[in-house]
C-alpha cells in the first residue's frame, strides 16, 4: 500500500506541472504577500484534490462514457480563460492599484483590485479553493489511469492527501517564483499593468489551446 501512496504522490507532482495549473497559481498569486501566496496555493491544492476524490469515487460506482468525463476538461479550460479575461479587463479598466506605505521604517507595497485595499485573506483563499475544485474536474481521467497501476485498489482519503501533498510541492515552489516577481518587478504601476496583462493573455492562450486540443 505504501507503494500506492508514492505513485499517487508522484502523480500529483507530475499533474501540478500542467500549464493550466501553473497559470492559475500565477493569476491568483501575482501581487500578493508571502502569507497570501502560500494560503492561496494550498487552498488551490486542497480544492483540486477534493474534487478529484469526489469524482473518482463517482466513477468507481458508475461507468460514465468518455463524452461525459471530457466535459471536465471543458470546464477546466473555461475557468482558465475566464480568469485571463478578468485580469485583462482589470488592466484595461485601470482597476489594479498599487499602494506604497511604511511600517516600522520598512516600505511595503500593496497591490489590489477595485477602490479599497483589504488585508482579508479569506476571500482570496476561498476563490482559489473554488477554482481548484472546478479545475479538478479536468484531472479525473488522468487519476484513473494512474490508479490502474495500483491493481484496481479503491480510492481512499489517504490517497487524496498523498495527491494533495504532491501537487502542493510544485504549487508552493512555483508560488515562491511568483513571490520573487512580486518583489523585484511589481514596484510601479507600469510594471503592474504589464505583468497582469501578460498573465491574462497567457491564461486565455493556455485555456484556448486546451479547448482546441
3-state secondary structure of 101: strand
Look at residue 134 and tell me whether its pLDDT is greater than 90: no
Cβ-contact 45, 200 below 8 angstroms: no
| Most confident of the following: 51-55, 100-104, 201-205 | 201-205
Check residue 70 and give its pLDDT: 66
3-state secondary structure of 112: strand
Q: Name which residue leads in pLDDT, 10 or 63.
A: 10
- State the pLDDT confidence band at 201, using cuts at 50, 70 and 90: very high
Averaged over 107-115, what is the pLDDT?
67
Alpha helices (H) in the chain, listed in sequence order: 2-16, 19-29, 34-61, 66-69, 71-92, 122-136, 140-147, 157-185, 189-212
d(CA 91, CA 129): 24
Q: For residue 98, which of 23, 25, 188 has the smallest C-alpha distance?
A: 188
Q: Name which residue leads in pLDDT, 127 or 84.
A: 84
Check residue 155 and give its pLDDT: 65
Q: Name which residue leads in pLDDT, 151 or 102.
A: 102
Look at residue 85 and tell me whether its pLDDT is greater than 90: yes
| Most confident of the following: 109-118, 146-155, 185-194 | 185-194
- State the pLDDT confidence band at 114, using cuts at 50, 70 and 90: low
Grid cell 516600522 in the structure block, residue: 104
d(CA 128, CA 108): 24
**What is the CA angle 55-56-58, rounded to 5?**
60
Look at residue 32 and tell me whether its pLDDT is greater than 70: yes
Amino acid at each position: 500500500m505504501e507503494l500506492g501512496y508514492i505513485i499517487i504522490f508522484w502523480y500529483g507532482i507530475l499533474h501540478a506541472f500542467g500549464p493550466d495549473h501553473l497559470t492559475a497559481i500565477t493569476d491568483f498569486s501575482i501581487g500578493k504577500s508571502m502569507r497570501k501566496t502560500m494560503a492561496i496555493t494550498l487552498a488551490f491544492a486542497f480544492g483540486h484534490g477534493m474534487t478529484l476524490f469526489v469524482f473518482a469515487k463517482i466513477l468507481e460506482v458508475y461507468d460514465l462514457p468518455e463524452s461525459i468525463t471530457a466535459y471536465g476538461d471543458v470546464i477546466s479550460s473555461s475557468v482558465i480563460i475566464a480568469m485571463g479575461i478578468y485580469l485583462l479587463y482589470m488592466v484595461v479598466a485601470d482597476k489594479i492599484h498599487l499602494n506604497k506605505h511604511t511600517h516600522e521604517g520598512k516600505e511595503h507595497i500593496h497591490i489590489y483590485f477595485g477602490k479599497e485595499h483589504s488585508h482579508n485573506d479569506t476571500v482570496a483563499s476561498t476563490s482559489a479553493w473554488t477554482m481548484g475544485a472546478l479545475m479538478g474536474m479536468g484531472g479525473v481521467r488522468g487519476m484513473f489511469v494512474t490508479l490502474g497501476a495500483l491493481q484496481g485498489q479503491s480510492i481512499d482519503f489517504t490517497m487524496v492527501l498523498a495527491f494533495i501533498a504532491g501537487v502542493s510541492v510544485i504549487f508552493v515552489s512555483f508560488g515562491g517564483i511568483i513571490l520573487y516577481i512580486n518583489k523585484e518587478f511589481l514596484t510601479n504601476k507600469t510594471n503592474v499593468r504589464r505583468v497582469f496583462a501578460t498573465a491574462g493573455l497567457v491564461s486565455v492562450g493556455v485555456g484556448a489551446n486546451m479547448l482546441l486540443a
